[in-house]
Structure 1
Amino acid sequence: MSAAATTSEGGLYPPSAFYFKVVFGSGSEGVDSSFQDVSGISFEMSTEEVPEGGENRFVHKLPTAIKQSNLELKRGIAPASSPLVAWCKEVMEGDFIAAIVPRTISVYLLNENAEPIRGWTFANAFPIKWEVEGFNSTKNEVAIEKIVFSYTYSNRVM
């Protein structure tokens, strides 16, 4: 069996879900993409039920729109110098004085060589929730922050 046949992209094994990266905007704002969890990459088609005239055995289901959930990112609490923290602070604590500047967020699933094998972009994203998980003096865990983003649309790029 060749090495190429056993890779996650073209061979026997599905890709691992633990090796991924997140990029904000152009990615030139500094490295701020170390997350423990990315969720919310989902698409669902809404349908409308239309009964058949004179036929009571079934109902037609017609597509109406694509629903997308919010994108959720979790990580250890980042320092105040983080560009993502600065953006969230600007949006959440800005009292709507300045316009919210949306950004493109890209999520890439990586292979064992750190090359993207799947990717999704989320256009016009902005934070809508910034949560710090509870503290507990009886556990020895990292303090976690969760950031939830709304976006206009998303595309699978590979």
Structure 2
Amino acid sequence: MSDDYQPSAFYFTVMFGATLGLADTSFKEVSGISAELETETVIEGGENRYVHTLPTHYKSRSLQLKRGLASTSSPLVKWCISVFEGDFVRPILAQPLVVCLMNADGLPIRSWSFANAYPVKWEVEAFGSEKNEVAIENITLSYNYSNRLT
């Protein structure tokens, strides 16, 4: 595939450090891949035409993963259960995560890594008697920082 074409957004993979991408990594949607700098405004004495905007620190958003409702044997579900139902008896296990956008040959053409990711929200979308859709779960992950790898 030539780099002249914009990549498609529908062929992607998610790999967790604990599973190495071998299991439980099929998702309907991944969102929240972004980076942002927090800034502060500094007014310079004697200069009234403008203010300086200076960077203060890196701010990361949460990463959201959407997929069909998985069984309790899923490694990702087990991880979420240990975080949300573990009563903080054991420390939360953070792990690396990589999201890859793939080309038609199944090779990564863009990828992002997320350091020390762990679940902060686990939600099941609303059920409806008039719907004919797959039940969807949303998992929101916090992470320390991200890097674009390719």
In structure 2, the residue corresponding to 1:41 is in which secondary structure? coil
**Alpha-carbon distance in structure 2 between the residues aligned to 1:115 and 1:42:** 22
Runs (5+) with no aligned partner, structure 2? none
Counterpart residue number, 2:88: 96
Please state whether the residue corresponding to 2:138 is helix, strand or coil.
strand
Task: State the shift of 1:30 in Å.
Answer: 3.8
Distance 1:29 1:52 in 2: 51
1:127 and 2:144 are equivalent in the alignment: no
Q: Percent same amino acid at aligned positions?
A: 57
Instruction: Give TM-score scaled by structure 1 length.
Output: 0.91
Which SS does the other structure have where 2:7 is aligned?
Answer: coil
Counterparts of residues 10-49 of structure 1 (less than 5 Å): 10-11=3-4, 13-25=5-17, 27-28=19-20, 30-49=22-41
The alpha carbon displacement at 1:31 in A equals 1.2
Shift of residue 27, structure 1, vs aligned partner: 3.4
Aligned-partner residue type, residue 113 of structure 1: D
Is the Cα contact below 8 Å between 1:105 and 1:122 reproduced in 2?
A: yes
TM-score (norm 2): 0.95
SS at match of 2:65: strand
* Aligned match for 1:146, one of 111, 116, 138: 138
Q: What stretches of structure 1 of length at least 5 have no aligned partner? A: none
- Mapped to 2, the partners of 1:50 and 1:123 lie a distance apart of 32
Q: Structure 1 runs of 4+ off > 4 angstroms? A: none
